[in-house]
Every structure is written in C-alpha cells, then in structure tokens.
Chains A and B, each alone.
Chain A
C-alpha cells in the first residue's frame, strides 16, 4: 500500500486515489496537423521509465483534486508532490522523510505548504 501525501489532505492510503499515468503530456496544439505517427505517439505512447517518473494522481475519495507526483518506479519511493500545471521539479531529491509510516503533514519534499494538511487528516 502506498501512502500518498495529497497536497490538500495530507497522507492517505493509496486506495483513496486513482492513477492517471504520465504527467506533462500536453494535448497537441493542432491535432489536425499531426501525421499518423505523431497522433499515435500522442494516443498510445507514454514514457515507461524505470526510475524517477512524473505521474498524475487524483485523490478520488478525498478532495477529488489532481496533482503531480515524482515516484521511483523501482523502489516506489515518493520523491515529490507538486500541483498540476507546475513543471517537473529538478532532481536530485533528498530522501523522502516519511515513507510508509505515520506522518504529520505533507512530505517535506513537497513544494506545497504543508499547512494545508489538516489536523486529523494524517496517519
């Protein structure tokens, strides 16, 4: 079970979230101008990184908000949580402070204010 720090709600079980795949994939500006190859790239091709991967999650059972996350796809360590629309934070990341145990707010690597994590929302 991943323990994911929602930027709005703090640490919650993975079961409260849904996975949204690779982050930062823009909709093509002019879909009509794309070749079949480019359209296929947009529809079907996503990075499948072994290592640090930027991906989207939505806190579906909580605040229903999307956010971005950097996660290592081998160790499953969550390295950063950051808002939609914000570019991917630069590496390297300090080791995440709270992997899998009780925490008192959003992870310290989160570039968002941990004050948004309420009392009682953490575990």
Chain B
C-alpha cells in the first residue's frame, strides 16, 4: 500500500493500520491460480454511508458531489474516482480511494456532509466498516456460484452492477467490475471467514480439470 507523507498524518496511526484480511495475504497469493481465478485484498478505501431521499434537494446536492445517485437496485453511479452503490431506495455506499479521506488530505466526507447540510438524511464515515476483495479470472463466477444464489450468468449480471446479497451465508456487497472480475465488500469482522471461504471454493481450480 502506498504510504505517502500525507498518510502519516493521523497521529502516526496510519502506519500501524492493518487491513482485516492482511493475515491472509500470503494464503491469497498461494491460493490464486493465475489465468484461472485470483483473489487479493484491495487497498484501504474511503467509504461513506449516505441516507437521503434522492429526489429531495439534499439528494440533488449530494448527487452533485458524487456524480449522481443510483435510482434502482444494482445501479452504480459516480465519477472516475468515486463510485456510489445502491443499497436501498434511500441508502447508498460511496466508495473512493483512501486519499479521498479528509484526514489524509482529501475532502470526500466533509463535502458530503456539507452537501447534506440540514437536509433530512445522514452521512457516516464507514471507511473502517468493510474491506474489499478482488476476485477475478475466468472461474471467478464459478467460485461465487458455490455460495451466492443470484443469477451471475453474464447474460443477466452485467459489469457495473453492485448488489447487496449473501455470499457463503454472510452479507456482502457484490460489485461486478468487469466481465470476469468481482469486488466483494464484506464487513471487517467477516473478512477472515469470507477470505477462507473463497480460498476453499477456489481450491478445485488448482488441480487439472477432470474431463
């Protein structure tokens, strides 16, 4: 992870911050099957939980900070740096790179808060709430299908879709970022479980396929 001068800001705490699945990093590396399916934990991100009526004035103001608000389940809006995931009709997860965080020189949380102003709703800094897993490769879908009941077939699930659902019996926000790549957002306390669950589901792909 990048460790710029700005990052040392927060009373030196940034130095010792460890991601929820950092203890699995090596296992992810050895469990990945290059060209088939790979798994790694992504860098820290800035995340904000936003609750607002998208049709309200406050909703419009927030939308102008985030590059719009998604209007239906699955939709993702945003800009180059910011993604806004639909969690509910009035609930969104805003995800941006770590340095967008106000304590590290960015202004995402602050600008969301001032956009909300005294409008009805809330903006909560959730940057420590979830971690991100990147699962990709031609067998990524097959791995997920072992524990996710959604129809993940490309005919149905298109890149750029994010859904709040269950993977391996736990709640996960599942973001299909490319034809063969998925980003999973488990809550930090589930990161160990989901990481091991995914590794287990990937295991068969390390062996030659039985015709």
Asked if chains A and B are in direct contact (CB within 8 A), the reply is yes
- Which residues from chain A sit less than 8 Å from chain B, CB to CB? 8-10, 12-13, 15-16, 61-65, 102, 116-123
**Residue pair B74, A120 in contact (C-beta under 8 Å):** yes
Bound state CA distance, A119 and B163, in angstroms? 10
**Residue pair A118, B74 in contact (C-beta under 8 Å):** yes
Nearest-CB residue, chain A, relative to B153: A120
Nearest-CB residue, chain B, relative to A6: B73
CB distance from A22 to the nearest CB of B (A): 24
| Interface status of B149 (Cβ within 8 A of chain A) | yes
A-B contact pairs, 21 of them (CB 8 A): A8-B89, A9-B73, A9-B163, A12-B150, A15-B166, A15-B169, A61-B165, A61-B166, A62-B164, A62-B165, A63-B73, A63-B89, A116-B72, A117-B73, A118-B72, A118-B74, A119-B158, A121-B73, A121-B150, A122-B151, A122-B156
- Point out the residues of chain B lying under 8 angstroms from A63, CB to CB: 73, 87-89, 91, 164
Nearest-CB residue, chain B, relative to A16: B166
**Residue pair A118, B88 in contact (C-beta under 8 Å):** no
| Residue from A64, A120, A123 within 8 A of B149 (CB atoms) | A123
Select the residue from A15, A63, A122 with max chain B CB neighbours within 10 A. A63
Nearest-CB residue, chain A, relative to B152: A120
Closest 6 pairs between A and B when the two form their complex, measured CB to CB: A118-B74, A120-B157, A63-B88, A118-B73, A9-B73, A123-B151
What's the interface size class on B, roughly?
Answer: 20 to 34
Nearest-CB residue, chain A, relative to B158: A119
- Point out the residues of chain A lying under 8 angstroms from B151, CB to CB: 102, 120, 122-123
- Point out the residues of chain A lying under 8 angstroms from B89, CB to CB: 8, 63, 65
CB distance from A94 to the nearest CB of B (A): 25
**Residue pair A16, B165 in contact (C-beta under 8 Å):** yes
**Residue pair B75, A61 in contact (C-beta under 8 Å):** no
- Point out the residues of chain B lying under 8 angstroms from A64, CB to CB: 87-88, 91
Bound state CA distance, A1 and B196, in angstroms? 26
| Interface status of B171 (Cβ within 8 A of chain A) | yes
**Residue pair A120, B169 in contact (C-beta under 8 Å):** no
| Interface status of B139 (Cβ within 8 A of chain A) | no
Bound state CA distance, A61 and B150, in angstroms? 13
Select the residue from B87, B151, B161, B169 with max chain A CB neighbours within 10 A. B151
**Residue pair B149, A118 in contact (C-beta under 8 Å):** no
